[in-house]
Amino acid sequence: MNARPLVIAALLLGCSNGREAVGREAAARATAHAREGIEAVGRLQGGLQTVLAGAAPTVAAAIATPIDVARVRNRLRDLHDDRSATGRQLSLYPTWFVAAVGADGHAIAGDLEPARDYLPGKDLRTAFPCLVTALSGTAGSCSGDFVTTEGAAPRGYMVTAVPLRAAADGPVVGALVGAMTYGRVAKAIREALNVSTLRDRVQLAVGFWHHGRIVPSGMDNDVPAALLVPDALLPRVPAYIGERLAAGTPFTFTFAENQGALQWGAAVAPVPALGPGEGILVFRAPLRQ
């Protein structure tokens, strides 16, 4: 009996099992990365709240009757001056906009130049429930979708809001809001993971599940194209992702590319701080397999 076919079959089976093991290990590592990402979201929200609370008195002093929009906007833009402690601290956070909101929940001004500032007059309360809480005197964080550019589609934001008081013990006259896009937070997490896995030599992608889609991906333009979750990975995400995250259940999955030559492992985990059904996705593949 010729044993050669049996030997070849055994070798192929062993190779297949070895490749699958690579995918399972990648998924386990991706799970650890997802936990790091969840912790990073918490640090970004908490840290931004601290920075905004420190800047609140400066902005509140510009809110007087009648409202001078230019004056308020200038105070907001001054917050980004890296010669100040606030500016240096704020530069550590991937904010898309910082805005002052009146006691009625309508934006007074954002931190862009007048021609690009789409926020004045817009009601932010429906989009960001933590703003309602801030206007009642308690700082907090939340997530929501909002349009900040004329004619653009709504974008998902992770928002932190703190009360504005004209005097330390005085009534709330408005709120200071800092908003980070999901894409920019994903970018920050991926860059941090790239540093921590430098010696591992792996390929990584990071995204969030938000309102039925993966962000950043497709046509999202708030991060460089190279940092989008690649189109090739999107169909690999199981169809039950929304159901699992709605139930608060983390899970992993594996898949292969290039006829099995590249094994991927991925982890999906809920991010309760962002709201029900929101989650983080981390894809990982070793470059040497």
Give yes or no: residues 55 and 172 share one domain. yes
How much is the pLDDT for 219?
Answer: 86
Last residue in a domain, options 181, 196, 225: 181
Last residue in a domain, options 146, 181, 216: 181
Residue 38 confidence (pLDDT) above 60: yes
How much is the pLDDT for 15?
Answer: 46
Q: Are 185 and 41 in contact (CB under 8 A)?
A: yes
The answer to whether residue 8 is domain-embedded is no
Q: Are 183 and 73 in contact (CB under 8 A)?
A: no
Give yes or no: residues 127 and 252 share one domain. no
Q: What's the CA gap between 251 and 275, in Å, rounded?
A: 18
How much is the pLDDT for 156?
Answer: 94
Q: What's the CA gap between 248 and 16, in Å, rounded?
A: 33
pLDDT tens-place string over residues 240-257? 999 999 999 999 999 998
Residue 280 confidence (pLDDT) above 90: yes
The answer to whether residue 31 is domain-embedded is yes
Give yes or no: residues 70 and 110 share one domain. yes
- Quote the percentage of the chain above a pLDDT of 90: 78
Nearest to 244 by CA among 253, 231, 257: 253
Scanning 149-197, the segments in alpha helix (DSSP H) are 182-196
Domain residues for the domain of 70 are 45-181
pLDDT tens-place string over residues 50-71? 999 999 999 999 988 888 999 9
Q: Are 161 and 133 in contact (CB under 8 A)?
A: yes
pLDDT tens-place string over residues 201-223? 999 999 999 999 999 999 899 99
How much is the pLDDT for 112?
Answer: 92
Give yes or no: residues 220 and 123 share one domain. no
Q: What is the CATH number of the domain that holds 195?
A: 3.30.450
Residue 17 confidence (pLDDT) above 70: no
Q: Which tokens sit at 151?
A: 């004619």
pLDDT tens-place string over residues 140-192? 999 999 988 777 788 999 999 999 998 878 899 999 999 999 999 999 999 99
How much is the pLDDT for 147?
Answer: 87
Q: What is the pTM of this model?
A: 0.89
How much is the pLDDT for 12?
Answer: 44
Q: What distance lies between CA 137 and its chain's CA centroid?
A: 26
* pLDDT confidence bin for 18, thresholds 50/70/90: low
Scanning 61-156, the segments in alpha helix (DSSP H) are 69-78, 85-90, 129-135
The answer to whether the bond into 171 is cis (omega within 30° of 0) is: no
The answer to whether residue 7 is domain-embedded is no
Residue type, 71: R
Residue 5 confidence (pLDDT) above 70: no
Q: Are 86 and 55 in contact (CB under 8 A)?
A: yes
Q: What's the CA gap between 161 and 182, in Å, rounded?
A: 17
Give yes or no: residues 166 and 50 share one domain. yes
